[in-house]
Structure 1
Amino acid sequence: MVFIKAVGAAALMMTMSMAILLGSTLAVAMPTSPAIGIVNIGRIRKLVAKYNLSSILVFGDSSADPGNNNHLATTFKGNFPPYGKDFFGGRPTGRFSNGRLPTDFVAEALGYAAVVPAFLDPNVKTESLSRAVSFASAASGYDDLTANLTNVLPVWKQLEYLKHYIIRMRRLMNGETKEMIKNAVFVLSMGANDFLQNYFVEPNRPKQFTVQQYEDYLVGCLIRDVKEMHRIGARRLVVVGVPPLGCMPLVKTAMNSAVCVDKYNIPALSLNIKIKNSLATLAGELGLTAVFADAYGAIVDAVNNPKKYGFVETSKGCCGTGTYEYGDTCKGQSTCKDPSKYVFWDAVHPTEKMYEIIAADLLNTVLTQILA
């Protein structure tokens, strides 16, 4: 049995120009999550066999991108040191962390692979994609405009690549491909960039929507994408909720705040509630097993109670000063001595240890709901 502390989903990319738009904090209480999650790997693998779980297909942003952005004409990349410092061989892969992502740990626990390959990696053989693959693109979001602002893959394009993937699998598996897609678990992890790269920075969406209206718009985009996944063949789906945006070191720095910034946590929490409710409705309409993996309360609990999880530093990242560096500004920077004591690797993204903790929540979601 493997014991992993259960914390929610990953923090995501944002732009530095948001600093001038940040307002004051609001004094509201934040929820907390269960302290410890226990992942029984043996039981998971038995359920994988019993329910014929075929593969894990990943969509999203930097919380799930293992290197697809390396092959795009975008500046939102993490394929240089110190990223990958603690990855196998100490090499940067495009993952925005010092090591692996939550979906890597999930794939390993399911018995598929130690890492989830990027679909756009030209060096990956088709056989290596059959049990786990990621179409995720750092800096993407539910809103197509979010991806367009940074020239990365919107969800519709990620789903286009899924169709290309299915064609490749047909050549490999012949008539078994349809069943393989039906028995796969689809994981979708995004949403933070829609606020932190788009709504709170760019002028277009605030002119069109209030914050609450934009949340509804994002839910509409999610519903559209889930219906397209279902049309393609998805029958099992995990949607990872938006993390507490105001707890990122970059936001705290921009706000000159020592605590999480409620102005940015409140929309994330509200959007999560709407997503969870919409998934329940969709599940009934489509005959889809669709579950929500909480991110919000769990990360807040880790930030507010670091000793429970073995962390020491929650307000700064490990890269550089830990206050503003991420992406290009993290390139070539010195790092802290022990990343395992840090919640965040850079000013936006978690460390590998935090990602491993996050994976427990995903695994328990798969164990208790998708495969039950």
Structure 2
Amino acid sequence: MFFLSKATDIVPIKIIQNYYISPVLQITYPVNQYFDILLRNYEQFVEFICIGVTSLPPLGCLPGMITLFGLGKDECVDRLNYDALSFNRRLNSTSQALKQRLDDLNLVVLDLYHPLYSIILINPIQNGFLETRKGCCGTGLFESAMLCNALSIGTCSNASNYIDFELAHIYDS
């Protein structure tokens, strides 16, 4: 398996190190044969790589954003949702331009905004959610993941009824 993160991590250093600490690998494969296997796998990985990028969700409907920017109202913040839609249009446009410029690019933009907007605002109950305006953790208005777990004070007893477990990570419940 190859993990690509920045240019410095492309070479599978840990996998090569494993060869030298594993007597079984050394007995089974001469070093150059093992390298051939790794490089063949790497080549296949890069050849068939597909990049998936997610659009922004309805930011104005996240509990933390409602708390910070909702001016005391218990509803989605339209301005933030408009900004998310604007960014998503530009993301789609940039992605299309990249696909036209790079013929072999396998790039998919996954739309998070519209399905989540539908679940949060249009059909929450039909989708199994009883609470869409606050998170399950603590007060549900401002706590973040680092402070939230099943033992946190105020954590709800049935997280699956909430679209958010905490303020920012939609669908963590």
Q: Would the TM-score normalized by the shorter structure come out above 0.5?
A: yes
Identity of aligned residues (%): 29
In structure 2, list runs of 5 or more residues that go unmatched: 20-33
CA contact (8 A) 1:339 1:351 kept: no
Please identify the structure whose Cα radius of gyration is greater: 2
Structure 1 position 335 matched with structure 2 position 155:
yes
Amino acid of the structure 2 residue aligned with 1:320:
G
Q: Where do 1:1-372 residues align within 5 Å?
A: 130=1, 158-160=5-7, 162-164=9-11, 166-168=12-14, 173-176=37-40, 177-184=42-49, 236-254=50-68, 255=70, 256-287=72-103, 288-304=105-121, 305-330=123-148, 332-352=152-172
Contact 2:166–2:172 (CA<8 Å) still a contact in 1? no
1:282, CA displacement in angstroms?
Answer: 0.8
C-alpha RMSD of matched pairs (Å): 2.4
Structure 2 residue matching 1:315: 3-state secondary structure: coil
8 Å CA contact retained: 1:244, 1:299: yes
Shift of 1:343: 0.2
Relative contact order, higher structure (CA 8 A, sep 6+)? 1
**Could you say which residue in structure 2 is the equivalent of 1:18?**
none
TM-score (norm 1): 0.37
Q: Which has the higher strand share?
A: 1
Partner AA of 1:262 in structure 2: D
CA displacement, residues 73-104 of structure 1 (integer Å, 9 cap, x when unaligned): xxxxxxxxxxxxxxxxxxxxxxxxxxxxxxxx
Instruction: Name structure 1 gaps, 5 residues minimum.
Output: 1-129, 136-157, 185-235, 354-372
How many positions carry a matched residue from both structures?
148
3-state SS, counterpart of residue 82 of structure 2: helix
Which letter does structure 1 place at the counterpart of 2:134? Answer: K
Q: What's the TM-score, normalizing by structure 2?
A: 0.74
Task: Give the letter aligned to residue 179 of structure 1.
Answer: Q
**Offset at residue 285 of structure 1 (A):** 1.1
CA distance in 2, matches of 1:169, 1:181: 17
